[in-house]
């Protein structure tokens, strides 16, 4: 099975996200048509390289004589200036050309770093994404955000740089750990809330069974890709609608901040944040009920670190966000399922109640 979702950013920028299993033939025919050189750079997450590197290399060798594999150390610390510099040096010293493609294979870390290397070397070389984590498949490989962290904050250096194609082979997921499924699932639930509530039911069935890349997971992943593509196409540079993708995230970032990064996963934090945002919306009279998230609570709670209980500190953390102006916190709320909007929050007592409510679900 495979299916291509077209992304049209502008008249000059169009590419496909191929979603399926065993995508060698799609990859080979795309590269044969698109590239004339004999070399490809493959920046691949170190762990993914151990698990799937042979398959990726074999696939590339069907098109390119010279396949240069560059393993990227696992983890967020790889999104740094020093790592970026390391790969830029390798490419330039080896005489990379404007037409030489670079493929990023791995989760969001390798995708963001590899994407930014491709965006910046020689003012941009062709980029391919091959996401291997659930989060990268449904979120980070789509939309063209690339970048690295700075010691003053996350993702502060980077560029919007669209790939030439994305090859989303769901069979990579068979080796993904449960904690990483959770991270990706939070984003899929976000798409359910802001676009297509049918996903709630589909995901409930899947979570009750096994976490393996079967056809049903493929369907949910394809639908998630479609939703992200739809939003990105309308707002590639994040000037408006793309902000809806932050549903649950303003709450979630405050939780991550207070718990300490690394203790609570991003997905767990966003999950709690989505319950708080849904409760807030319902208290404004909008017809949404956070019970939609109930079937997933025990799943997310399983490995969750203890949550901070100090609501004042959580609200202070939300206020300290760089985007907050005049103490007005911008929240993505729901008019109804599938209908997000931006709310300028000045009602801190409702915010407090929403935090209390969401945290109590995890007691």
Would you tell me which residues interact with ligand NAD (CB under 6 A)?
Answer: 45, 47-48, 51, 74-76, 79, 106-110, 112, 132-133, 135-136, 139-140, 143, 145, 155, 172-173, 175-176, 180, 183
Name the residue among 233, 98, 107, 93 with its Cα closest to residue 162.
233
Nearer to ligand NAD by Cβ, of 51 and 122: the residue is: 51
State in angstroms the smallest separation of the CB of 316 from ligand NAD.
23
Nearer to ligand NAD by Cβ, of 92 and 156: the residue is: 156
State in angstroms the smallest separation of the CB of 95 from ligand NAD.
29
Nearer to ligand NAD by Cβ, of 74 and 352: the residue is: 74
State in angstroms the smallest separation of the CB of 138 from ligand NAD.
9
Q: Encoding tokens for residue 204?
A: 């409930």
Name, in order, each residue with C-beta under 8 angstroms of 94's C-beta and a sequence gap of 6 or more.
68
The sign of the dihedral angle between the CA atoms of 321, 323, 327, 330 is negative
200, 168 Cβ separation under 8 angstroms? no
Nearer to ligand NAD by Cβ, of 80 and 283: the residue is: 80
3-state secondary structure string across 4-54: EEEEECCCCCEEEEEEECCCHHHHHHHHHHHCCCCEEEEEEEHHHHHHHHH
132 Cα distance to chain centroid: 11
| Count, residues in the chain | 363
Determine the Cα–Cα distance for residues 322 and 93; give it in Å rounded to an integer: 38
State in angstroms the smallest separation of the CB of 111 from ligand NAD.
6
Q: Encoding tokens for residue 107?
A: 């989760």
Nearer to ligand NAD by Cβ, of 190 and 222: the residue is: 190
State in angstroms the smallest separation of the CB of 292 from ligand NAD.
22
State in angstroms the smallest separation of the CB of 203 from ligand NAD.
18
Distances (CA, A) of 182 to 99, 171, 236, 271: 38, 17, 27, 9
Name, in order, each residue with C-beta under 8 angstroms of 124's C-beta and a sequence gap of 6 or more.
98, 118, 161
Nearest-CB residue for ligand NAD: 108
State in angstroms the smallest separation of the CB of 100 from ligand NAD.
22
Residue recorded with tokens 């004339």: 36
Nearer to ligand NAD by Cβ, of 95 and 153: the residue is: 153
75 three-state secondary structure: coil
Nearer to ligand NAD by Cβ, of 28 and 159: the residue is: 159
Nearer to ligand NAD by Cβ, of 145 and 222: the residue is: 145
State in angstroms the smallest separation of the CB of 66 from ligand NAD.
25
């Amino acid at each position: 099975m495979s299916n291509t979702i077209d992304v049209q950013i502008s008249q000059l920028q169009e590419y496909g996200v191929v979603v399926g299993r065993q995508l060698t033939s799609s990859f080979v025919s795309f590269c044969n048509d698109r590239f004339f050189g004999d070399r490809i750079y493959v920046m691949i997450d170190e762990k993914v390289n151990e698990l799937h590197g042979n398959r990726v290399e074999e696939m590339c060798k069907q098109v390119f004589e010279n396949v240069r594999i560059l393993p990227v150390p696992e983890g967020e610390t790889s999104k740094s200036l020093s790592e970026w510099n390391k790969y830029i040096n390798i490419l330039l010293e080896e005489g990379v050309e404007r037409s030489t493609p670079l493929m990023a294979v791995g989760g969001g870390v390798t995708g963001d770093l590899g994407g930014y290397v491709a965006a910046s070397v020689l003012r941009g070389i062709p980029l391919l994404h091959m996401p291997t984590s659930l989060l990268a498949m449904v979120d980070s490989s789509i939309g063209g955000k690339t970048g690295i962290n700075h010691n003053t904050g996350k993702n502060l250096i980077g560029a919007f740089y669209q790939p030439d194609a994305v090859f989303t082979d769901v069979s990579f997921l068979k080796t993904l750990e449960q904690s990483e499924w959770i991270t990706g699932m939070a984003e899929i639930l976000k798409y359910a809330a802001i676009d297509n509530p049918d996903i709630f039911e589909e995901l409930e069935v899947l979570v009750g069974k096994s976490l393996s890349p079967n056809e049903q997971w493929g369907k949910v992943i394809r639908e998630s890709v479609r939703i992200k593509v739809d939003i990105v196409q309308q707002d590639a540079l994040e000037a408006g609608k793309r902000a809806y993708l932050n549903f649950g995230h303003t709450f979630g970032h405050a939780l991550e901040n207070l718990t300490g990064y690394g203790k609570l996963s991003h997905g767990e934090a966003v999950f709690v944040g989505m319950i708080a945002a849904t409760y807030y919306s319902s208290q404004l009279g909008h017809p949404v009920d956070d019970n939609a998230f109930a079937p997933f609570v025990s799943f997310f709670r399983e490995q969750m670190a203890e949550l901070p209980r100090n609501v004042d500190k959580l609200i202070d953390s939300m206020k300290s966000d760089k985007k907050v102006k005049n103490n007005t916190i911008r929240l993505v709320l729901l008019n109804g399922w599938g209908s997000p909007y931006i709310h300028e929050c000045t009602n801190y007592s409702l915010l407090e109640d929403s935090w209390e409510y969401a945290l109590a679900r995890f007691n």
